[in-house]
Every structure is written in C-alpha cells, then in structure tokens.
Chains A and B, each alone.
Chain A
Amino acid sequence: MVSQFSGVLQLTDLDDFITPSQECVKPVKVEKKQGRSVAKIQIEDDGSYFQVKQDGGKQKLEKAKITLNDCLACSGCITSAESVLITQQSHEEIYRVLRNNKQAGVAEQKVVVVSVSPQSRASLAARYGLSSSEAGRRLTAFFKGLGVHHVFDTSFSRTFSLLESQREFVERFHRKEQDKQALPMLASACPGWICYAEKTHGEFILPYVSSTRSPQQMMGSLVKGFFAGQQGLNPQQIYHVTVMPCYDKKLEASRPDFYLEEADTREVDCVITSGEVVKMLEEEKVLLSDVEPAPLDTMFSSVCGDELLGHAGSGSGGYLHHVFTHAARQLFGEEVKELTYKTLKNKDFQEVTLERDGVVVLRFAATYGFRNIQNLVQKLKRGKSPYHFVEVMACPSGCLNGGGQVKPLPEQNNKELLQQVEDLYKEERPLVPEEDQHVAELYQSWLQSVGEERARELLHTQYHAVDKATNGLLVKW
C-alpha cells in the first residue's frame, strides 16, 4: 500500500507494511486469565479468533488495535496501513456520526461542523469547473443536505494564525540579541514539517519553530471553545470535521496537545481530504456542479456577500507575505506594496529581502519540499542560515499540491491541473488580517475575556522532540 502522506513525513520511519510495522513497540494490554497457560486458538469462518479453554469454553480474543494516537506518542514507526491510521478519520466515520444523529435521542445528538480549507475548495472547484466561491456554496449545501449543521471556512481561522505569526515574529526579532534561538522563525502550519522536525532534529530545531497554531487547530479552538460556549454546548457534543489538502493534517488533529482532557474530546474530530470529498460525492451519485448552492455560513467564515475572501501571498497560507509586510512596517516603518520573490536553487526555494540604505535588514525565505528543508536545517545546524523567517512546507509547490488534493483525470496533465487550482485559489479577493473586524471582535470579546494564559493556550501550541528507539532488536535487516 503506497503511502499518501507527504514526502517529508514518509522519510521518517514510514513503513509500507500492511500491518503495523515490525518496529511497533506498543505494549498491548492483555487481560491475564487465571489458571493454566495452556489454551488453543481457534479461527472462526469469519476470521475472528477464539481461545478455547481446557474445559471447552470459548472466549473471543480482542484484536490488538493500534490507534493514531499510539503511533504519534511512540517513536517506533509510523505505519501507512490504512486500516490502522484511517479507521478513526475517514468519510465513513462522518457518515456513521450523521447516521447516529438521525437515530439518536436529542441528548446524544451531536452538532456537526465542517470547516473547509481554501486549498480544498480550489481543488474541488477545479474538478467540477466552478469558481472557488461557487464550490464553497455548493459544498455548504451538500454537507447540510447530509445532516451537517454548519459549514465554515478555515481562511477565517487562518486570519488568527497570520496575526499571531506577525506578532510572534516581531517579539522574536526584539529578543534576537539575547536569545540565539529566536531567529530564524520557522512557520509551523505544516504538520508534515513538524512531525519531521520533532522526530529527526528534535531539541535542536524546536526553539526556532513558531508556536502559533495552524488554521486547522485555530478553528479547533474556535469551534470547541468559543462556539461551544456560545451555544451552551459541551465540546464533546460537537463533531468537528475539517476538509484539508493532505493526509498529514489527520496526524495533526490527533496530537495529544489538541485533545481536550476535561471534555474527553479532540478539537478536530475528523480530517478528510479533498479527494475524500469527491468519494463522498460519488457515493451520493452527485456532481458538485449539480448541487443547488446554499448561502454561506458567516459565523466563522470570511464572507463578503456570497463570495469567500482569502489572503494575499502563497497558496500555503501566505505566512511569508504577511509576516514580512507586518515586520517591515513595525520594525522599519516601511509600507511594502508588493513583494519581489527571487527564485534560488529551485522553484520551491524563494527569497524576499528588505533593504535599507543598501543593507539587507530582513531576509525571508519560502522552502517547500524535503530537499529544501534538508538544506535549510543543515545550514542552520552549521550556523550558516541567513534568514529571519522561513515559510516551511513539506510538499513541493505547497499546500495546493498536497497529497490529498483531487487527482487529475486521465486526460489531465499534473502541471496544468496545479496551475488551474492555483488560479482558482488566487481569484478569492484578499482580506488584510489587521483589518478584519470580525476577528478583531473575537479577540476583544473572547480572547481577552479568558485571560492571557488561556488565550495563549487557544492560539499557540507546543512541540515535543521524539526519542529515537535505539533498541537493536527493533532494527530491520
């Protein structure tokens, strides 16, 4: 089974074994039975295992299950076995929750929220010949038709990520003399990059990684925090789905840091990819272009009339663009109208600089793809990185080219499709994060009201270096 995770994630102990990797060290908790240890194991016709005791009594044996969380918490391996990783996060799960809702009593029903990323929207728009906003309206109608209650847009939560990233950069810049690990600040919205950084470079690299949450997890805070409170719901009563351009986002949603202990629920319950939405449409035997559009939900979406708004900058969130323009203004009083990108070694490695009196005062880069990340980290390790900020993404060409995006049709060319998706994405009119009233209101009403510490928890996160298993017994030959 070929893995669908990003190339960067795949190179960190990823296995292509169909079962959990031989390196799996998760201790399986087995209930010890009293008595003699002699027992027979019988396999039934349906494949289930029964332990036949000496007195003839049969007992069904539990299948050893490894969950996504187990995998993340462990350093043994990451297995690509679909059955293991995707069980808890697939469109099948969503159908199950929606079915339960129909049958369950009011007390057990869940409020189902779907947050769609702009990259997924653009990918679906390309497949069905729609504009991004048209795709957004039809997705709203499609999901609501299945029983979903609200459909939001992660461009909205991304505004929070951009604002926090801007502030974080300025704060790091101010302390760069005292703290040698303040800069370069490395963007953290990409979970493929984060998993790789935690596993391969650990303590060395983590201080440089931005603590700002990704748009997906900002939405997690918004939905299970603010929205839950506002609606008088327990976070557990909300089933939060996100639609993302890659599979790595499923791992991000499963991180223990994004698990609400008290409410015993995850901030994002399920991540499905753009491709999985196509599967859902195909199962419902409907073309997105044939769905009657519905008005967009405005609570957590950046909407203007019936158009969805986006952000300037790259198709991967525009972190470089926004942090640069903000830093230029805050630190050097420069209003940057347009950024000039210089392509370095390859098209996935670009640089932007700000000069003052012939001296470069800000040097930012965008490094996409494993080879560029490698070079960035190696340079950093040798103390030779000239950058103040780097937008790091695991996928070549960024999120618009994520592993979960809709695949080209047989007659389509990969490059052409990607260009189409990029064009559709850029068509969304950009919103300036600092000018977003709705977001400003939430900062005031919600984040300020919970106090600084709680606000920090809601907007930022932490990273954890993973110890490599050095047990010789686990080495594959």
Chain B
Amino acid sequence: MNDTVALLQKFNAHPDSRCWYVAWNPKGTLLASCGGDRAIRIWGREGDSWECKTLLQDGHQRTVRKVAWSPCGNYLASASFDATTCIWKKKNDDFECLTVLEGHENEVKCVAWAPSGNLLATCSRDKSVWIWEVDEENENEYECVSVVNSHTQDVKHVVWHPTQELLASCSYDNNVCVYKEEDDDWECRATLEGHTSTVWGLTFDPSGQRLASCSDDCTVKIWKECQPEGGQEGTDVAWKCVCTLSGFHGRTVYDIAWCPLTGALATACGDDGVRVFKEDETADPDQPAFSLSAHVPKAHTQDVNCIAWHPKEAGLLVSCSDNGEIAVWNYQSGV
C-alpha cells in the first residue's frame, strides 16, 4: 500500500461523552456533530483548525444519534433517543428549531433527506421506517407519508439513493431493505439477505448503482441491482451481493462511506481503526473487487462510530469516536 491516511487534526467534540455522528454540509464549509451529551455542535474551519461555531444544547432530552443536512444546506435534521427528530433552520451562525417530528415509539436511530429535499426518512428501534414530506407552503409543517414495517428488529440506518427517490434501510435483523413509492404508499421492494449479524451502515456509490453495507459480522458487502429472473415488467427489483470484504476488520464495522469524488470506500470500525478501500480497475463490473488501500489501526482510542468524506475536497475524511473525539484525515492515493 503506498496510499496513506494522515491525521490533520483531532479534537474533543463532546466532552465526557460519545461522539456518535459527523456530517458535512453540502458545500463542505461546516461539519455537524452530535453525541451522548444531547448536544449538536457545528464546526467551521478557521485556518488549519476547526472551531465550534454553534452549540445546540436544548433540542433533545436524550442522546442525539445522527444529524443530516438538507440538500440545500439550509436545514439540519437531528435524530434522538428521545424518540423525536428535530428540524433546524440555519440563520447565519445560529439554528432555530422549526419543528419536532413525533410518532416513533422509541429511540430514533437515523434521519436522512431525499435528494429532492422534500422528503425525509427516519428509522427507529420500534422497527419502523417513516417517510415524511415537507409542506410546500409551510416549511415547519411535516406530514407522515408512509410508515413501513419491513424489518423485524431495530432499524439502525436509512440512506437515500443519490439521485432517485429510492430508500434503503438496515437493521439488527441482519437485513437491508430497499423501498420505492408505489401508488400513494411506500413499500419494501427488495430484502437483501446475506449478513450474519446486525447491519449498521449503508452507503450508495456515486452513480447509485451499487450499495455498500457494513455489519457486526465484520464484513462489508457490495450489492448491485440486477434484473429479476424472468425479466418481467413491474416485478420486485432484485439486488445481488456482488462482493464481500472479509478478513479486514477485527470487530464490528459501524459505518461506511463511499466517496462521491473518488469512489474510495472508507469504514469506521469497533477495533478503533479507520480503513480505506479502493476498487480494482480490472474487475468485471458485475464482480467488483476491492483492496485495502490504507489503514489507521488506532485512529481513535475507542470505537469509531462514523466516517464521512468531504463533499468537495477529494481525500478529506472525518471520523468520530466513543471517546468524544473528532479526527480529520487526509487520504492520499499513491496511484
């Protein structure tokens, strides 16, 4: 491996607490983090370092598990163990809570915006995935469009296709579900089985043709949409596992991110390590192969919970950990 991951900066983001998630805004000028201290922090670059621009302390009554920026960058959604999802509007350096989405029975594990910015998906330990719609005229009116119960256990993560209105979710039930809108309701169109333990994270490749999942079974799987047997119109879509990366991770893989600029795959692992995988050029598109490009064995002193590629700067990577820290890395590919 002549590819490297160099540490640029490390800082404590959530004192005496876990940092659960980090998310870059669409322009890449801000980084939102959230944690077990129930707070959301917005970080901005000041020269070579990152400064906390905003602290949102009173939005939630329990751990904030994930945060997500809207495609336009003006809104931030936060998913919390207090069973609510908060929608914040950015007003200069400050954020105002527009509305609180209630309805989940217990801890909300994830929130994600659809590429159109009109739809939002949330998922929870109550095993359901909810799809919400913003009212066109009223930005603080969100209505539930669908509630889908395809998983039989805690749903850990939801992610939207980069360009289409297609949703994927993963769960403690070891499966990944893919959803599409049919008539006036959202339905699970495919169940991706293969992992042998909880699936913690999902990420689409830049084109949206492939989906990568990471699991407690210490593997990463790459899935590709393919024609169902018989090739009939209107039947359920089929996704096949076209690649499994095993033997690379020592513990649970908690998060995975596919770089929209370079196609590199980064993972966050329970063995405290950060890894970057590169796709082999020569491989058959239906049988892709990935190799380990770079590995930071002790990226943090505890579990790495999240990993995220910068949307504009190739190679810029951020991770966060149970020890409350955020680390900013520079990945350089030798080739």
- The reply to whether B144 and A371 form a contact with Cβ atoms under 8 Å apart is yes
Q: A371 touches which one: B102, B147, B152 (CB < 8 A)?
A: B147
> CA–CA, A374 to B128, complex, Å?
14
- The reply to whether A12 and B105 form a contact with Cβ atoms under 8 Å apart is yes
> CA–CA, A12 to B106, complex, Å?
10
Q: Quick one: which of B143, B145, B146, B183 has the most chain A CB within 10 A?
A: B143
Which residue on B lies nearest to A7, using beta carbons?
B149
> CA–CA, A2 to B152, complex, Å?
9
B119-168 interface (Cβ within 8 A of A): 126, 128, 143-147, 149, 152
- The reply to whether A375 and B144 form a contact with Cβ atoms under 8 Å apart is yes
- The reply to whether B184 and A346 form a contact with Cβ atoms under 8 Å apart is yes
> CA–CA, A370 to B148, complex, Å?
10
- What string of 1s and 0s marks CB contacts (under 8 Å) between A1-15 and chain B? 010000100111100
Q: A346-B185, A371-B145 are in contact. Are A11 and B105 (CB under 8 A)?
A: yes
> CA–CA, A347 to B149, complex, Å?
19
Q: Is B103 interfacial (CB-CB < 8 Å)?
A: yes
CB distance from A195 to the nearest CB of B (A): 13
User: A13 — which chain B residues lie within 8 A by C-beta?
Assistant: 105
CB distance from B216 to the nearest CB of A (A): 14
Q: A378 touches which one: B103, B126, B183, B185 (CB < 8 A)?
A: B103
User: A396 — which chain B residues lie within 8 A by C-beta?
Assistant: 185
User: B126 — which chain A residues lie within 8 A by C-beta?
Assistant: 11
- The reply to whether B184 and A370 form a contact with Cβ atoms under 8 Å apart is no
Give chain B's interface residue range (CB within 8 Å of chain A). 10 to 19
Q: A345-B184, A347-B184, A378-B103 are in contact. Are A10 and B149 (CB under 8 A)?
A: yes
Q: Is A428 interfacial (CB-CB < 8 Å)?
A: no
> CA–CA, A16 to B126, complex, Å?
11
CB distance from A316 to the nearest CB of B (A): 18
> CA–CA, A371 to B126, complex, Å?
15
A1-50 interface (Cβ within 8 A of B): 2, 7, 10-13, 16
Q: A11-B128, A16-B152 are in contact. Are A374 and B185 (CB under 8 A)?
A: no
> How many residues of A are in contact with the other chain, CB < 8 A?
17
- What string of 1s and 0s marks CB contacts (under 8 Å) between A367-384 and chain B? 000110011001000000
Q: A370 touches which one: B102, B147, B183 (CB < 8 A)?
A: B147
User: A378 — which chain B residues lie within 8 A by C-beta?
Assistant: 102-103, 143-144
> CA–CA, A200 to B83, complex, Å?
13
> CA–CA, A13 to B105, complex, Å?
7
User: A375 — which chain B residues lie within 8 A by C-beta?
Assistant: 143-144
Q: A374-B103, A378-B102 are in contact. Are A11 and B147 (CB under 8 A)?
A: yes
> CA–CA, A89 to B147, complex, Å?
30
> CA–CA, A10 to B185, complex, Å?
19
- The reply to whether B147 and A7 form a contact with Cβ atoms under 8 Å apart is yes
CB distance from B198 to the nearest CB of A (A): 13
> CA–CA, A200 to B105, complex, Å?
9
CB distance from B232 to the nearest CB of A (A): 14
Which residue on A lies nearest to B124, using beta carbons?
A11
Which residue on B lies nearest to A346, using beta carbons?
B184
> CA–CA, A346 to B145, complex, Å?
9
A155-200 interface (Cβ within 8 A of B): 200
> CA–CA, A346 to B147, complex, Å?
13
Which residue on B lies nearest to A373, using beta carbons?
B144
CB distance from B37 to the nearest CB of A (A): 19
CB distance from A204 to the nearest CB of B (A): 12
CB distance from B63 to the nearest CB of A (A): 13
> CA–CA, A396 to B182, complex, Å?
14
Q: Quick one: which of A345, A370, A371, A374 has the most chain B CB within 10 A?
A: A371
User: A374 — which chain B residues lie within 8 A by C-beta?
Assistant: 103, 144, 147
CB distance from B189 to the nearest CB of A (A): 15
B74-122 interface (Cβ within 8 A of A): 102-103, 105
User: B185 — which chain A residues lie within 8 A by C-beta?
Assistant: 346, 396
User: A10 — which chain B residues lie within 8 A by C-beta?
Assistant: 149
Which residue on A lies nearest to B185, using beta carbons?
A346
> CA–CA, A11 to B83, complex, Å?
13
User: A345 — which chain B residues lie within 8 A by C-beta?
Assistant: 143, 145, 184
- Residues of A at the B interface (CB closer than 8 Å) are 2, 7, 10-13, 16, 200, 345-347, 370-371, 374-375, 378, 396
Having A345-B143, A346-B184, A374-B144, one finds 4 other A-B pairs with CB under 8 Å, namely A11-B147, A374-B103, A374-B147, A378-B102
A-B contact pairs, 12 of them (CB 8 A): A7-B149, A11-B126, A12-B105, A13-B105, A345-B145, A346-B185, A370-B147, A371-B145, A371-B147, A374-B103, A375-B143, A375-B144
- Residues of B at the A interface (CB closer than 8 Å) are 102-103, 105, 126, 128, 143-147, 149, 152, 183-185
Give the top 3 A-B pairs by smallest Cβ distance, nearest first: A346-B184, A374-B144, A371-B144
